[in-house]
């Protein structure tokens, strides 16, 4: 099959490279000339484990290529995926569909054969209908179907998730769409990955429902963590104790600084807007969004408390370890680190930080933060060390060295990666999340 992937970001590039690895011929298209130039030069525009090797193999095999020219890229494609960004619209939180609709129009205008157009971007219910209308409006003479195929991969584990998904969801309104999608995913079908066919609107909603449910699970355990601190209980044991119940499941029950990233914050907000538009409130998600919003600054205040309170904190130094919203990505979008750093700077704390992959993306978002070349440089002369993102590199810090370099042996561990007893034995004043 020939596949065109419009948008070569975290989702488009990984999906395109994986489809090529299945044996399809794939063209990844992006309007960002810099991104395409880097890809031509064999340089990955994003950090995702294993992506450079996967891209390299498939480019060399002649199955994967890159272009900025949409007309050329979609020529002869059986399936044209739209994988462009759908950020929160400034001001109201609705999903901004400008990029999706731009691509739909251009695809309609440049379509040179019959094809299935697939929205892989996360889009609100009804977007497929609008994409169909826009393409129809261009007056294309070619047969086309618009299908919804939301993506569930996680950054940092994207290739494995794409190749071994829990399920593939396909929302199609006609047999042409379903048939092409069956062929696109046949290699996974052979792997016994379940494919769920639904209506297009149902498929669009499944993606938001999934993300909202996961955000709820995280927020639930975060509130339990706060309660644990008050009553002297241990949230990790609470997670284990409830997670062993098959009806609940153990995943997404790690207490921390609140969810962030390129998906949960914007997708929960967009779901609220859809619910509002259809006069069908989703009050649980309203609460989740509010609780999570306030949590990030609360985590900054936890650090201020560890520095002895507002007055004592002024002029002191905090070392933040980890800035990305989770490990194994360079993605800084809506990372809790931004609010934590901001809260500290608002309190007059000097902030130094280190992240294994996120520094370049973090720099413009956190202009007041001193970016360091490694963890120990950030820790030097710090009054408090803060674990913000649980990169493996921070799980086994040389505690004697940390103590020697820091001004005071104080650690705030927002990811619970250290053991309170061990830290006390090592002479640290140690605060974590939900372990009263």
> What residues are labeled active site?
263
Q: How many residues bind ligand NAD (CB under 6 A)?
A: 26
334 binds ligand NAD (CB under 6 A): no
d(CA 246, CA 365): 41
47 binds ligand NAD (CB under 6 A): no
Sheet containing 25-29, strands listed edge to edge, beginning at the edge strand earlier in sequence = 64-67, 25-29, 2-6, 79-82, 115-119, 144-148, 168-171, 195-198
328 binds ligand NAD (CB under 6 A): no
37 binds ligand NAD (CB under 6 A): no
Which of 3, 4, 5, 8 touches ligand NAD by CB under 6 A?
8
Give the shortest CB-103-to-ligand NAD separation in angstroms: 5
d(CA 150, CA 241): 33
Please give the radius of gyration of the chain, using alpha carbons only, rounded to the nearest integer. Answer: 23
Which of 27, 28, 30, 118 touches ligand NAD by CB under 6 A?
30
284 contact partners, CB below 8 Å, separation of at least 6: 216
DSSP-assigned letters across all residues of 222-255 = HHHHHHHHHHT-BHHHHHHHHHTSTTT-STT---
How many other CB atoms sit within 10 Å of the CB of residue 113?
A: 13
148 binds ligand NAD (CB under 6 A): no
Closer residue to ligand NAD, CB minimum distance, 100 or 321:
100
Which of 67, 122, 203, 236 touches ligand NAD by CB under 6 A?
122
d(CA 402, CA 376): 7
Site for ligand NAD in 66-85 (CB under 6 A): 83-85
Which of 1, 2, 31, 363 touches ligand NAD by CB under 6 A?
31
d(CA 267, CA 285): 11
Report whether 38 contacts 28 (CB < 8 A): no
Which of 10, 220, 391, 394 touches ligand NAD by CB under 6 A?
10
48 binds ligand NAD (CB under 6 A): no
Applying CB under 6 A, which part among 96-104, 195-203, 268-276, 311-319 lies near ligand NAD? 96-104
Instruction: Check whether 197 is labelled as a binding-site residue.
Output: no
Applying CB under 6 A, which part among 30-38, 128-136, 337-345, 385-393 lies near ligand NAD? 30-38
Angle between the 336-346 and 283-306 helix axes, to the nearest 10 degrees? 50
65 binds ligand NAD (CB under 6 A): no
29 binds ligand NAD (CB under 6 A): yes
Burial grade of 161 (CB within 10 A; 0-12, 13-18, 19 or more): middle
Closer residue to ligand NAD, CB minimum distance, 86 or 342:
86
Give the shortest CB-374-to-ligand NAD separation in angstroms: 27
Give the shortest CB-152-to-ligand NAD separation in angstroms: 6
Q: Retrieve residue 113's tokens.
A: 């054969």
Binding site for ligand NAD (CB under 6 A): 6-12, 29-32, 35, 83-86, 99, 102-103, 121-122, 151, 153, 155, 262-263
């Amino acid at each position: 099959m020939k596949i065109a992937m419009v948008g070569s970001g975290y989702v488009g590039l990984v999906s395109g490279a994986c489809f090529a690895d299945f044996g399809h011929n794939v063209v990844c298209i992006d309007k960002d000339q810099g991104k395409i130039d880097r890809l031509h030069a064999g340089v990955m525009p994003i950090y995702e484990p294993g992506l450079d090797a996967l891209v390299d193999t498939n480019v060399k095999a002649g199955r994967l290529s890159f272009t900025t020219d949409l007309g050329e890229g979609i020529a002869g494609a059986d399936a044209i995926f739209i994988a462009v960004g759908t950020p929160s619209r400034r001001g109201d939180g609705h999903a901004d569909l400008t990029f999706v609709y731009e691509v739909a129009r251009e695809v309609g205008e440049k379509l040179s054969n019959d094809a299935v157009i697939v929205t892989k971007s996360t889009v609100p219910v009804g977007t497929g209908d609008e994409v169909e209308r826009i393409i129809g409006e261009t007056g294309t003479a070619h047969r086309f179907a618009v299908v919804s195929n939301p993506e569930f991969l996680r950054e940092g584990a994207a290739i494995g998730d794409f190749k071994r998904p829990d399920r593939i969801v396909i929302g199609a309104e006609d047999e042409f769409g379903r048939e092409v999608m069956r062929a696109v995913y046949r290699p996974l079908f052979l792997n016994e990955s379940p494919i769920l066919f639904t209506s297009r609107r149902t498929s669009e909603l499944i993606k938001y429902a999934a993300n909202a449910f996961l955000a709820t699970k995280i927020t639930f355990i975060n509130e339990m963590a706060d309660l644990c601190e008050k009553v002297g209980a241990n949230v990790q044991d609470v997670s284990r104790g409830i997670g062993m119940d098959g009806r609940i499941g153990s995943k997404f029950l790690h207490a921390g600084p609140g969810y962030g990233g390129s998906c949960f914050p914007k997708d929960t907000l967009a779901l609220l807007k859809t619910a509002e538009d259809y006069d069908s409130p989703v009050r649980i998600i309203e609460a989740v969004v509010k609780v999570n919003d306030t949590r990030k600054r609360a985590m900054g205040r936890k650090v201020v408390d560890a520095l002895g309170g507002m007055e004592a904190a002024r002029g002191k130094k905090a070392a933040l370890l980890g800035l990305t919203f989770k490990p194994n990505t360079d993605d800084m979008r809506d990372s809790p680190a931004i609010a934590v750093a901001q809260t500290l700077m608002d309190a007059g704390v000097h902030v130094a930080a280190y992240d294994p992959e996120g520094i370049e993306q973090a720099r413009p978002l956190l202009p007041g933060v001193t970016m360091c070349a490694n963890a120990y440089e950030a820790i030097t002369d710090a009054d408090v060390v803060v674990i913000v993102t649980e990169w493996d590199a921070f799980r086994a810090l040389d505690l004697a060295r940390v103590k020697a370099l820091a001004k005071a042996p104080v650690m705030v561990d927002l990811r619970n990666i250290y053991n309170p007893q061990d830290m006390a034995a090592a002479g640290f004043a140690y605060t974590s999340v939900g372990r009263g």
